[in-house]
Chain A
């Protein structure tokens, strides 16, 4: 897990990577959007979340409880929503995302267009349709199972239109088989953490997650502790603690916290 930090950066290699990347994208520079947490952005190639790509978010637990994963997924979507015009398409079998909750997080629920689909197949189809519509800010789909070809199709559709896609894995049953390596640009696994400090001792504070960047095209995986930041009025990944054994790290509120 510490490999990424220790590896010396070779300027020549970076330049070559950038050139290949440009060739792959037909000459255009890669579009990225900083997430607002420097430690995290430094890890991501180009300094932020790739736009026009597929990103995958899954919860750490197999059982049905995806408030946590959905919360982190929104944390990824929020900077995108702030930077781009256009509605956000949210496709799910069970569209239980609550407007009041979005508003409480400082998001504008009017930006969200919800789609209720009947199954994974319809969700993936609707995502692909959405990704062809360049007017959208982002497309989020909640799926259970994902075939590698389906992921590949989404990735290609996202690259073609420049609309960013998020796959929120929602398992209705525990996964039995090991997941095949995904095709997504980034893949995150999210676990909850006890919340940050609150004005009163016993109240819940800001949500915190332990986020594992399991796969990232052009970067090494790593672990991060992140926190929701609503103090600034907007939303950002507020604090990130990079790598290293978690137990050895001070609490996120302490001196090691990186400014967001």
Chain B
């Protein structure tokens, strides 16, 4: 696959890179190739051959990213798409594949098993793929075969500008491979060259050799690649995206741009996904909405739910307010909704709901139905809030075994089962606890006494009543050096002349304000 540099003129074009201190050609386009340029040539020689040569620097990292994006774009055809590891090693992405003869060129592998029917057949799928890539500015060659090896070889060595794509019929891999050169077997250049020198110019010549002699003579790679191409050895594609087993997909008749139209598409997807979920008695815990744009971009929205759910209304509401964030570009033509994470959810669970959540637990059995409804409603609420505000924004506080007040309350997910541990009572604790305690200026009449007056946020307060001290020692048994070395705190609850109450402490001779009472 090669990317058209989109230069307005017909000047030969090459990508250059630094080779041992001087610039060399990394890849050349068709015009440059016609002028006699080859990858590997020093730039000075290239300029001598083609004085009007246009150049750009090779940026392998960007090429790799672009290729990965393109592989993601290909998931419009199948969820199994991946950057071809063999070609990536050869040329380093798209730039490396700019021209450079057969065998070069970055590649993307798609497993379209069972997908071709959606596009009107295998040939139509390939045609669609090549045409669309062409519209995006890529010169692509494509082949479809029983094995990765055969498709790879045919796409690179049995296509030309006239027939840029080819479908190898089922069981036809051996025949299709026969006339191709050994380089089509995804071999390192040195190995391919060796075979060439030995006169083994066609794969059927290799096939004629006794298989047991191949490995000792040419190393394990050739034999392995040959078996893979013929389909005798398994080869699996490691897909870019782990395949979500639960997925609803919608190809739109016309590209859409408005949020209303998106919401409409989402409606249908949610209903379909929930039907899939119901069939396997599961509920979604994570949802991914992917839209494929006309210009080849894709946008993904991922959301979590606090409880497994397969209520289409609930799933839809989660995305409400988020759809506006999707930039439709020039239009969206395909939408998918997947549940990459799901949990078992039976019909009975939907009715009853798990016990938990504060007082929901001790309701009578006769009210189970209502408690279940309430919990479902609550879970829906928590999901909607977290979908918009961010994960972890909805929480409860559970007591934690610690003397330090800031550690004694711990944030837990809102719907986590309640902690039976009781809160410590009987000690004054403020209604609001300041994040970090704020340093204040305070004057105490005697060393161990509460302050007589203090100043907090530029306002003076005269202490009228006070209670304390309550000594809270640092938790020296913990490994945290900050905490273990901290001085003990002497807490006072004080009331000023107006009746406002504060929680102050003294630590190491300095005063801090830590909380406010009601």
Which residues from chain A sit less than 8 Å from chain B, CB to CB?
A: 63-68, 70-72, 74-75, 85-87, 89, 94, 96-105, 108-118, 122, 125-126, 129-130, 132-136, 191-195, 198, 202-205, 207-208, 228
Interchain residue pairs with CB less than 8 A apart (9)? A66-B432, A66-B516, A85-B374, A98-B433, A101-B429, A103-B425, A136-B378, A194-B464, A208-B499
With both chains docked as a complex, state the minimum distance between the C-beta of A151 and any C-beta of chain B, in angstroms: 21
Q: In the complex, what's the smallest C-beta–C-beta distance from B264 to chain A, in angstroms? A: 23
Closest chain B residue to A126, Cβ basis: B385
Q: Let me know if A207 and B389 touch, CB within 8 A.
A: no
Smallest CB separation, B504 vs chain A (Å): 12
Tally chain B residues at the interface, Cβ within 8 Å.
62
Say yes or no: B358 contacts A96, CB within 8 Å.
no
Write out the residue numbers on chain A whose beta carbons fall within 8 Å of the beta carbon of B500. Answer: 65, 67-68, 192
**Given A72-B518, A101-B430, A104-B429: A122 touches B388 (CB 8 Å cut-off):** yes
**B518 A98 Cβ-Cβ under 8 A:** no
Indicate whether A129 sits within 8 Å of B358 (C-beta atoms), given known contacts A103-B425, A204-B495: no
Which residues in B have their C-beta under 8 angstroms from that of A104? 425-429
B431 in complex: contacting residue of A101, A134, A194, A195, CB < 8 Å? A101
- Cβ of B184 within 8 Å of any chain A Cβ, yes or no, is no
Measured between alpha carbons, how far is A206 from B247 in the docked complex, in Å? Answer: 60
Chain B interface secondary structure, helix, strand, loop or mixed?
mixed
Whether B518 contacts A202 by the Cβ 8 Å rule is: no
User: Could you say which of B378, B465, B466 contacts A133, with CB atoms under 8 Å apart?
Assistant: B378
B85 within 8 A of A: no
Q: CB of B181 within 8 A of chain A?
A: no
> B385, B465, B498: which contacts A202 (Cβ < 8 A)?
B465
The smallest beta-carbon distance between B13 and chain A, in angstroms, is 49
**A195 and B389 contact, Cβ closer than 8 Å, known pairs A66-B516, A113-B396:** no
Q: Is the CB of A96 within 8 A of B518?
A: no
Task: Decide: B378 and A110 in contact? CB cutoff 8 A.
Answer: no
Tell me which of A87, A112, A228 contacts B357 (CB under 8 A).
A87
B395 touches A114 (CB 8 A): yes
Select the residue from A71, A110, A116 with max chain B CB neighbours within 10 A.
A110
Chain A hits for B423, CB < 8 A:
99-100, 103, 109
Contact A192 B516 (CB under 8 A): no
Q: How far is the CB of A19 from chain B (nearest CB, A)?
A: 32
Is B79 in the interface zone, CB < 8 Å from A? no
A228 to B425, CA, bound (A): 17
Is the beta-carbon distance between A125 and B388 smaller than 8 angstroms? yes
Q: Is the CB of B433 within 8 A of A101?
A: yes
**Most A-side CB within 10 Å, residue of B358, B431, B465, B493:** B431
Cα–Cα, bound, A148→B502 (Å): 34
Interface membership of B332, Cβ < 8 A: no
Measured in the bound complex, the distance between the Cα atoms of B408 and A75 in whole Å is 24
